[in-house]
Amino acid sequence: MDYNIVRKLFESPKKIVITAHRSPDADAIGSSLSLSHVLTKVGHHCDVVIPDAFPSFLDWMSGASQIMVFDSSEQEAAAKIKEADLIFCLDYNRLDRIAAVGDLVRNATAPKILIDHHIDPATFDYMLSDTNASSTAELVFDFVSNLDWVDRIDADVAACMYAGMMTDTGSFKYPSTTAHTHRVAAELMDRGLKPTHVHQEIFDNNSFSRLQLIGYALTNKLEFNETNGVSIISLSVDEKSRFNFKKGDTEGLVNYGLSIGGARMAVFLSEEPAYTKMSLRSKGDLDVNVIAREHFNGGGHKNAAGGKLDLDISAAVNKVKDVLESLDN
């Protein structure tokens, strides 16, 4: 990212569209909203467009209610992307990660700026891609800082950034957490951030039925293979609906599997009506990004990846076990 060139893009007021990935998480939404707020404060018009809905535990973020969800406002979102002067691509590395929105972005004439921390990014006009960064939110802070806009970060903006950093680092626990991550968090506190508030909004806002779903999954659906250190949790459409499932209710469930002493890898399989979504987590050098790419039509990072199987839940569980067995041999 050559900031001397990028700076010029912002010299006159621009119509800017910020996009983030499908099944958006706190990093996708927190990065998008914080960048949108800062760009608005320096005189630009910003719209955030995402492919599908975000979980309600992010509703508290400033600007969340103005996010345009492509699935429910296709025409309006398509027009915004087409007419944009500049498009940001946040927290994803390739346009095929954002479904139909990706085709619109690809066809749009506006220059595209990528800010992301996933491995192997495609080529964009301007790129801030750092696979060692804890989160896209941390990179958005760096971007804002390099353009001398840190003074535009207020408490609301800081809370959005912090939410992305906090969740993508497992509350500052994963090895991606660096001294710089903590320095950025400290700077956000200097700008009015109340970390306790963000923790409470995200982690202390469970519905009763969500906790019951987690309890059910851990009691009845967790399998652990002591030989290869792999845990698997699977949930069918029917099981989720028994617990009044809402988007985001299984967020983080995969981490329970990884917290077993001796676990090297954890798999979570969640059945949708037409396919099964998979989450993979690992410890140390076991690279789940490679496994997701080679076997499950997906990708991600070394220790956190995901994929999609065009199978129902029981076939998906069998396929995962077959693949893991073949890897062991």
**Under the rule (CB under 5 A), what is the footprint of Mn ion?**
27, 91, 136, 168
- By C-beta, is 35 or 280 nearer to ligand 5GP? 280
The answer to whether 90 touches 35, Cβ cutoff 8 Å, is yes
Out of 104, 258, 304, 320, the residue judged to bind ligand 5GP by CB under 6 A: 304
Cα-to-chain-centroid distance, residue 253: 15
- By C-beta, is 91 or 249 nearer to Mn ion? 91
- By C-beta, is 36 or 136 nearer to Mn ion? 136
304 binding partner (options ligand 5GP, Mn ion, none; Cβ < 5 to 8 Å by kind) = ligand 5GP
Q: Assess 308 for contact with ligand 5GP (CB under 6 A).
A: yes
* Stretch near ligand 5GP under the rule CB under 6 A, chosen from 99-107, 132-140, 240-248, 306-314: 306-314
Q: Rounded CA gap, 173 and 33, in Å? A: 24
| Contacting residues for 136 by C-beta, under 8 A, at least 6 apart | 27, 28, 31, 90, 91, 115, 116, 117, 164, 168
Q: Assess 163 for contact with ligand 5GP (CB under 6 A).
A: no
* Token duo for residue 102: 């990706």
Q: Rounded CA gap, 238 and 243, in Å? A: 9
Using CB under 6 A, which residues numbered 102 to 131 contact ligand 5GP?
118
The answer to whether 46 touches 66, Cβ cutoff 8 Å, is no
- By C-beta, is 80 or 97 nearer to ligand 5GP? 97
The answer to whether 25 touches 251, Cβ cutoff 8 Å, is yes
270 binding partner (options Mn ion, ligand 5GP, none; Cβ < 5 to 8 Å by kind) = none
* Token duo for residue 13: 């007021």
Q: How far is the CB of 327 from Mn ion (least distance, A)?
A: 26
Cα-to-chain-centroid distance, residue 249: 15
Q: Assess 300 for contact with ligand 5GP (CB under 6 A).
A: yes
48: which strand partners?
18
Length of the chain in residues, anyone?
A: 329
DSSP state of 174: S
Q: Assess 24 for contact with ligand 5GP (CB under 6 A).
A: no
Out of 128, 299, 313, 317, the residue judged to bind ligand 5GP by CB under 6 A: 299
Q: Assess 295 for contact with ligand 5GP (CB under 6 A).
A: no
Out of 90, 307, 316, 320, the residue judged to bind ligand 5GP by CB under 6 A: 307
* Stretch near ligand 5GP under the rule CB under 6 A, chosen from 139-147, 232-240, 258-266, 297-305: 297-305
Give the neighbor-by-neighbor strand order of the sheet with 276-282. Answer: 222-225, 230-235, 265-271, 276-282, 304-309, 299-300
* Token duo for residue 175: 């090895």
| Contacting residues for 83 by C-beta, under 8 A, at least 6 apart | 15
- By C-beta, is 51 or 300 nearer to ligand 5GP? 300
- By C-beta, is 168 or 271 nearer to Mn ion? 168
Q: How far is the CB of 173 from Mn ion (least distance, A)?
A: 15
Q: How far is the CB of 329 from ligand 5GP (least distance, A)?
A: 26
Q: Whose structure tokens read 């028994």? A: 242
Q: Rounded CA gap, 206 and 48, in Å? A: 26
Q: Rounded CA gap, 53 and 56, in Å? A: 9
State the binding string over 263-292 for ligand 5GP (x if CB under 6 A, else -): ----------------x-------------
| Contacting residues for 196 by C-beta, under 8 A, at least 6 apart | none
Q: Assess 51 for contact with ligand 5GP (CB under 6 A).
A: no
* Token duo for residue 44: 């630009």
Residue number of the CB closest to ligand 5GP reads 306
Binding interface with ligand 5GP (CB under 6 A): 97, 118, 279, 298-301, 304-308
